[in-house]
Amino acid sequence: MERTLIIVKPDGVQRGLVGEVLRRFETRGLRVAALRLIRIDRDLAARHYAVHQGKPFYHGLVAYITSGPVAVAAIEGPDAIQVVRRMVGATRSNEAAPGTIRGDYALTVGRNIIHASDAPETAAFEVDLYFAPSDLHAYERATDPWVFPN
């Protein structure tokens, strides 16, 4: 089992896509461990996107991610990190494959709907950035054995 972090970015919230995005993960069989609607401030944005500091798009990215409420979720399941990244699609939405979230709902890199952790280390760091341990629910759904038998 793996856990990853996704954020429906301000454009996704404004366009009414929170439910659609979560539906895709749930119907794939992934489980929501934690869920919040929050406004990211500049300090949190700087910590989240520290790896991008100094890049030409950094200031625009911080302005974008702080521009309105976002829906943040911790999502879990077998190989959740890579499974979710593949469902999200390419960073440059114009190059994202149809059937991916960006490929179905976005057109540009600057408004690409969703964030998802890209590796085990970033997933652990990002889940910890947005959720306290007590926010993360450990539970089993009746359907889980039908999706990932052990």
Distance CA 93, CA 37 (A): 24
Q: Is 48 in the site for ligand IDP (CB under 6 A)?
A: no
Under 8 Å between Cβ of 93 and 106: yes
48 is catalytic: no
Q: Which of 48, 59, 115, 137 is the catalytic position?
A: 115
Q: Of 34 and 117, which CB lies nearer to ligand IDP in the complex structure?
A: 117
Please choose which of ligand IDP, Mg ion, none residue 110 contacts, taking the beta carbon within 5 to 8 angstroms, the exact cut-off set by kind. ligand IDP
Report if residue 109 touches ligand IDP, rule: CB under 6 A.
yes
Q: Are 93 and 107 in contact (CB under 8 A)?
A: yes
Q: Which amino acid is at 97?
A: A
- Taking alpha carbons only, the member of 105, 9, 88, 95 closest to residue 48 is 9
94 binds ligand IDP (CB under 6 A): no
Interaction site with ligand IDP (CB under 6 A): 52, 57, 60-61, 91, 109-110, 112, 115, 118
